[in-house]
Structures are given as C-alpha cells and as structure tokens.
Homo-oligomer: A and B are copies of this chain.
Amino acid sequence: MAACAESAAPSSASATPPAASPERPAKLGLCVACHGEDGISRIAGTPHLAGQDGQYLERALVDYRSGKRQHVPMTSLANSLQPADIRALAAWYASRPGFHAGDAR
C-alpha cells in the first residue's frame, strides 16, 4: 500500500510547494460570478484564473483600471478596486490549485 500511495503522488511532489493560501480578499465577491471563487470560469469566453501567473493577473487589473486594457465589465469592476485589492485578488487566484482538462465546466 506504501508503493501504491507513492505511485499516486503527483509528479511534482518534489518541487517547491506553493506558498500558503492568502486570506480571502474582501472584494472577491466582485469576481466570482464569472471567474468562480476557485478561478475556474463558469462562462464561455471568460478566462480561467486558477493558478494563473500572479504578476500577469495584477497587471491585467491595473490595466483595466487605467483604461489601457478595455473590456466593459472588467473596466467597471476594476474602477472599484484599490491597489491593495488588486494585489489581494491577484494573489488569491494565482494561489488557487489550477485545473486539468475535464475539471472545468
């Protein structure tokens, strides 16, 4: 049974473990209808955010907030975020466990 447990372990078991999960962001409620609390999109055309690169997520929100990146629902939502909210939301979704094909939708 020990060998069995070993064979079922993920291949990345020896890699650096992900950082501890951050606190649930105060503004997470703005995101979950489309992106899910777990970062798995519920709506076709909407990106999955689970396990996404944190720097990329932070830049996306900053760019929506500044108007550099345009998408009506995101522009409106990002305008209600402060920089600390953006950092918290990016860290939250970056730390969700990701997904494998077939998990989502």
Contacts and interface: CB of A to CB of B under 8 A. Distances in A.
A47 interface: yes
B55 A44 contact: yes
A8 interface: yes
Contact of A4 (B8, B45, B46, B56): B8
Contact of A12 (B51, B56, B98, B100): B100
A13 B2 CA distance: 23
The size class of the interface chain A forms with chain B is: 35 or more
Given A47-B52, A48-B52, A97-B100, 6 more contacts: A4-B7, A10-B103, A45-B59, A98-B100, A98-B101, A98-B103
A83 to B, nearest CB: 17
